[in-house]
């Protein structure tokens, strides 16, 4: 059995507040992990830490880039990184990368480039747009050429200027409907499948990609309008699943294929800019997000999914990876309630290591209470010992 690698996801502001020398030395030494994944483009957070770092319990920041962008790489782009104010003139990623190299920790960077109110507010012309012409206030559209150029430039910037092992890409899709504009105040009783359908993007870029593929976005929109009208007349009493609705409607099935191709081709364009590993993080309702894991596996080097007990995105196994001929990685929350105690985390980590996953990432260093860090140490030590036997 191949030996899994163990990583700890971390926010750069947490490492900075604790002191990156001490934090990374602890990760490499006491906790015994092989690497650190640093979130360098994040959709925004109001964090209550699991323990005080640098004397501070809380941190707040909107959607931003948490490194200093290489400005010439974005000179021709209309969408450029929003630099986090907390850094001032510093470049914490540069410092973290240097220390990680000294501690022999593998360095990954994570980018979540499409989400965040501040990002969408500044670049509203590239936002997702629903059937009714209402723009999302939280998500840029992955079909938009300017968004795609921005994401590719981010990846190229990071792999060119920092000694990274891999780029983790998250949320570069259409998103789970729970992340979209809410229909909670709707006067129409929409079945769950239709709540997903009405989250679909029909912006100009999506319509153009559909037309380029010989698919009519107008036909798909007309089907949704008809379904809405039927629901308003109280004529829609079926509770068909999303998959059943799509399977029974060629117009919707064709548009869904265009959505999935948009995401897959975006990831492929990132990979073309990146000589290192590109890992795509799966999360939430993949079908609703426009994510096709089988197609996506051909566009990147690895897929990463949650291995928390009962998490609905735990849809891929190491066996699936063998079928796809791709690596499958997992991530584990290492604090309550998902990890109720040390033995539970040790057991879950052991299960993941025995299942043959290539990499196991613990989430998240700054959010983890002090006692839970010792659980991680125990989990890594036990899993490694058992793998050797």
Share of the chain above pLDDT 90, in %: 78
In this predicted structure, what is the pLDDT of residue 118?
A: 97
Cβ contacts of residue 385 below 8 Å, gap of 6+?
Answer: none
82 in any annotated domain? yes
E-assigned strand segments in the chain: 5-10, 35-53, 56-65, 106-111, 127-129, 135-140, 166-170, 277-281, 302-306, 327-333, 359-363
In this predicted structure, what is the pLDDT of residue 284?
A: 81
Given pLDDT bands bounded at 50, 70 and 90, which one contains residue 173?
very high
187 in any annotated domain? no
Average pLDDT of 205-216? 98
Average pLDDT of 217-240? 89
Question: What's the whole-model pTM score?
Answer: 0.93
In this predicted structure, what is the pLDDT of residue 288?
A: 84
Given pLDDT bands bounded at 50, 70 and 90, which one contains residue 324?
low
The number of distinct structural domains making up the chain is 1
Of the listed ranges 208-222, 290-304, 312-326, the one predicted with least confidence:
312-326
In this predicted structure, what is the pLDDT of residue 314?
A: 45
In this predicted structure, what is the pLDDT of residue 313?
A: 45
369 in any annotated domain? yes
Mean pLDDT of the chain: 92
221 in any annotated domain? no
198 in any annotated domain? no
> What is the domain extent for residue 383?
5-180+260-388
Interior angle at CA 353, CA 38 and CA 275, nearest 5: 45
Given pLDDT bands bounded at 50, 70 and 90, which one contains residue 58?
very high
Q: What is the CATH number of the domain that holds 317?
A: 3.20.20.80
208 in any annotated domain? no
């Amino acid at each position: 059995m191949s030996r899994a690698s163990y990583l700890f996801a971390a926010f750069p502001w947490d490492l900075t507040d604790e002191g990156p020398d001490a934090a990374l030395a602890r990760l490499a030494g006491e906790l015994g992990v092989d690497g650190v994944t640093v979130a360098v483009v994040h959709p925004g957070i109001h964090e209550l830490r699991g323990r005080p770092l640098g004397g501070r319990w809380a941190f707040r920041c909107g959607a931003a880039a948490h490194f200093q962008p290489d400005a010439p790489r974005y000179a021709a782009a209309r969408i450029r990184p929003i630099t986090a104010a907390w850094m001032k003139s510093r470049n914490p990623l540069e410092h973290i990368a240097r220390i990680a190299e000294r501690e022999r920790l593998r360095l990954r960077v994570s980018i979540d480039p499409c989400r965040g109110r501040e990002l969408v507010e500044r670049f509203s012309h590239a936002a997702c747009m629903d059937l009714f012409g209402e723009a999302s206030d939280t998500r840029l559209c992955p079909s938009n050429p300017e968004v795609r150029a921005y994401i590719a430039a981010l990846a190229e910037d990071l792999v060119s200027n920092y000694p990274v092992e891999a780029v983790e890409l998250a949320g570069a899709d259409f998103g789970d409907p729970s992340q979209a504009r809410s229909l909670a105040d709707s006067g129409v009783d929409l079945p769950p499948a239709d709540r997903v359908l009405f989250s679909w993007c029909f912006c100009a870029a999506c319509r153009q990609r559909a037309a380029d593929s010989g698919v009519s976005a107008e036909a798909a929109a007309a089907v949704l309008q008809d379904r809405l009208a039927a629901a308003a007349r109280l004529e829609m009493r079926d509770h068909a699943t999303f998959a059943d609705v799509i399977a029974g409607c060629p117009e919707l099935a064709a548009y869904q294929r265009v959505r999935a191709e948009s995401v897959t081709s975006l990831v492929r364009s990132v990979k073309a800019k990146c000589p290192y590993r590109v890992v795509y993080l799966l999360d939430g309702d993949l079908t609703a997000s426009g994510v096709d894991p089988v197609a996506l596996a051909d566009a990147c080097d690895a897929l990463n999914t949650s291995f928390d007990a009962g998490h609905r995105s735990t849809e891929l196994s190491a066996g699936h990876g063998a079928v796809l001929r791709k690596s499958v990685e997992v991530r584990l929350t290492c604090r309550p309630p998902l990890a109720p105690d040390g033995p539970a985390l040790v057991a879950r980590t052991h299960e993941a290591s025995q299942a043959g996953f290539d990499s196991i990432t613990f989430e998240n260093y700054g959010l983890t209470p002090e006692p839970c860090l010792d659980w991680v140490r125990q989990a890594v030590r036990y899993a490694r010992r058992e793998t050797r036997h």
